[in-house]
Amino acid sequence: MFDKLLIANRGEIACRIIRTARQLGIRTVAVFSEADRNALHVRVADEAVFIGPPEAQRSYLSIERILRAAQATRAQAVHPGYGFLSENAEFAEACTRSGLTFVGPPPAAIRAMGSKSEAKALMERAGVPLVPGYHGLDQNDALLEREAERIGFPVLIKASAGGGGRGMRVVDNPSDFVAQLASARREAMKAFADDRVLVEKYLSRPRHIEVQVFADSYGNCIHLFERDCSLQRRHQKVIEEAPAPGLPDEHRRALGEAAVAAARAVGYVGAGTVEFIFEGNHFYFMEMNTRLQVEHPVTEMITGLDLVECQLRVAAGEALPFKQHEISINGHAFEARLYAEDVERGFLPQAGKLLHLTWPKFETQNGRHLRIDTGVEAGDVISTYYDPMIAKVIVWDRDRTSALARLVAALQDSAVLGLTSNLSFLARLAQQPAFAAEDIDTTFITRHLAELISPAADIDRVTLAFATVAVLSDAVRLPDKRPVEPWSPWRLADGWEPNSAAHSTVVFRDRDGGPELVVDVTWHRSGGFRLVLMGTSSEVCLITRDGARFEIDIDDRRLRAWIVRDGPEVWIQGRGGGRRLLFEDPLHGEVADSGGGGHLTAPMPGIVVSIPVAVAQEVKRGQTVAVLEAMKMEHTIIAPADGRIVAIHFAVGDRVSEGVELISMESEEERKAAQ
């Protein structure tokens, strides 16, 4: 086994690898960009090396910089994690030339499976069934369009060199094919430096099932059973589970055997994942990921194995310590991907500072009931340059029903404040009756979207009461009901005034503007106060405050929530979800409206990658006027109405902030009104 390991990655996967390496007595070296100077993986590693600017192409994707860091620290091995250079054959070869052990498969295996087209051709020769499609080398746009018509719409355009949903587009109508092809190519080139694509028939309601395989350099190759990754949106996995629910034993055996055959066909060594699409009683090969997957923890939970440890041991020349018949499924596991994203605004990625994080605490059986894999702590920043993942919430129990109950409880007992996240969405998804009933496929979220994403509700009285308590407790030291020096006059700030009850007024607005929310406060000499909000009077008392955790009584109900303030912003999260209010502090003037200032504004920080319109051009409602790239995804800005482009404020390649106006437009109605 080597003594020092460099991790050519960041975030939660880097922290995950560091944890296992430390258990094995291996010293670790982290790398970081300008955007990651204070990141958690830098803080927990034994050493850390700066590798360049925030842009991944100039830091995490720079083979030269990574190798220079390894040589400077005298690391003996490099673990690529997943993403970035993890499936780059040139990087694997460069590590070997530099005398470093690459913790991954041989370059030939990466090349064979790195191209979706070549991998499918290999599987076709091996007799593994494929989805109907075009996997050829000729990438002429007109040819691809003809192939799509031959296959029949809807079709799926997929980046030949990548995964993770990047460079992937579903095309329902022939008229959209050219535009979607161009978009897929742009995204593929940025993510993988390769804009080749393949075109396949889009199956309407398939399941996405993948098999974990592991091989050593002595010819041993096994599978560690399957994972169901069907709950997706934009082809990105949201909740994964192992084993796949409702899968007959004969299908489980067939999938495992096919996955092992695929790995053997390319002389595979290390951890890999063979992905299949499953519909009815038939499965089709999709691709092989020649690396560790984001969702590998659910496999670890049901097998009791540490896959990173297995990777390191195999890379160090050891044989697999187990045979196929020695591995069995024990219980059921789920993983939920917690992201900084605004679900109600189309899952737009969010960036900024995490003010507070709370994770649940379960009684554990050998540490297996709950696991949080994260690369951030409270106070850290989610950057616009990288994936906006906050954490993976992983649970295990003896069966699927029990494990799903644990997942729901874990999500409800977690808190993310300071950034909008998908935490409440994940909790609603985990509680969907159809999900519990195993009625799942890759269209699940789309089919249930109306139930999963309801329009933002009006501010309720409880949320307003919590916000008021938080503001008042910051302004004065509110007495709580804990018996700590109850006789001390210095701990009381209850608004007492001689000969009368004290009154005050607290004013909020919703984060998206709207009317004022006025709360009238009357203080009680006995502690607590009466709030008049939304025309109703409530008796409220702060019971305890422990950091961000508040416990209050409101009209004889005892409730708990997490609350933090950041300037005028008040972030509140209880078991029912989260909210952000704007406090109108009378000492600092009124809070400005947080709206975006127009329809054609940047919905998030990002880079302008396309402006397919010109000044004075007439446009139709729904027409694309700009394309923004943020956090590895493209986001389209469309015209809200028929009209004319008046001004374009940014150029392709410009970095823009959230809310800035990209394009000025005069609608047809405005033009007629002016005449």
Q: Is the pLDDT of residue 381 over 70?
A: yes
> 633-667: per-residue pLDDT in tens?
677 888 888 889 999 999 998 888 777 889 999 88
Q: Note the pLDDT of residue 338.
A: 98
pLDDT for the residue numbered 515? 79
Rounded CA separation 248/189 (Å): 40
pLDDT band at 472 (very low <50, low <70, confident <90, very high): confident
Catalytic residues: 291
Contacts of 41 (CB under 8 A, 6+ apart): 7, 10, 11, 14, 15, 18, 30, 32, 375
The superfamily in CATH containing domain 207-452 is ATP-grasp fold, B domain (3.30.470.20)
Pick the CATH number of 4-103 from 3.40.50.150, 3.40.50.300, 3.30.70.20, 3.40.50.20: 3.40.50.20
- Using the Cα atoms of residue 416, residue 54, residue 604 and residue 84 in order, give the sign of their dihedral: negative
Q: What average pLDDT does the segment 399-427 reach?
A: 95
User: 221 versus 660: which is more confidently predicted?
Assistant: 221
| Least confident among 156-165, 387-396, 575-584, 597-606 | 597-606
Residue with tokens 């899968």: 247
The 10s digit of each residue's pLDDT in 120-163 is 888 888 777 788 889 888 999 999 999 999 999 999 999 988 76
Name which CATH class applies to 132-201. Answer: alpha beta
Alpha helices by DSSP H, listed for 116-213, are 116-125, 141-151, 177-192
Query: What does the alpha-carbon distance between residue 551 and residue 42 come to, in Å, rounded to a whole number?
Result: 36
The predicted pLDDT at position 633 comes to 67
Cβ contact 160:175 at 8 Å: no
Sequence spans of domains, the chain: 4-103, 132-201, 207-452, 461-583, 606-674
What value, to the nearest 5°, has the Cα angle with vertex 193 and ends 190 and 197?
90
Outline where DSSP puts E strands in 340-484. 341-342, 348-349, 352-353, 356-358, 370-374, 381-382, 389-397, 415-417
- Buried (b) or exposed (e) across 125-145, using 16+ Cβ within 10 A? eeebebbebbbeeeeeeeebe
Q: How far is CA 272 from CA 211, 222, 260, in A?
A: 8, 11, 10
Write the class of the CATH domain 606-674: mainly beta
pLDDT, average across residues 287-298: 95
For residue 499, CA distances in Å to 476, 489, 496, 520 come to 21, 18, 9, 20
pLDDT tens column, 43-56: 999 999 999 999 99
Computed over every residue of the chain, the mean pLDDT equals: 88
Instruction: Please state the pTM of the whole predicted model.
Output: 0.81
Over its C-alpha atoms, the chain yields an Rg (Å, rounded) of 27
Question: Which one is predicted more confidently, 80 or 362?
Answer: 80
Q: What pLDDT band is residue 204 in, cutting at 50, 70 and 90? A: confident
pLDDT of residue 488: 44
Task: Give me the CATH topology for the region 461-583.
Answer: Glycoprotein, Type 4 Pilin (3.30.700)
CB 255 within 8 A of CB 226: yes
pLDDT at 40 over 90: yes
- What pLDDT, on the 0 to 100 scale, is given for residue 591? 39
Q: What is the mean pLDDT of residues 466-471?
A: 92
Q: Please, what sign has the CA dihedral across residues 660, 664, 668, 669?
A: positive
Q: Select the more confidently predicted residue: 227 or 485.
A: 227
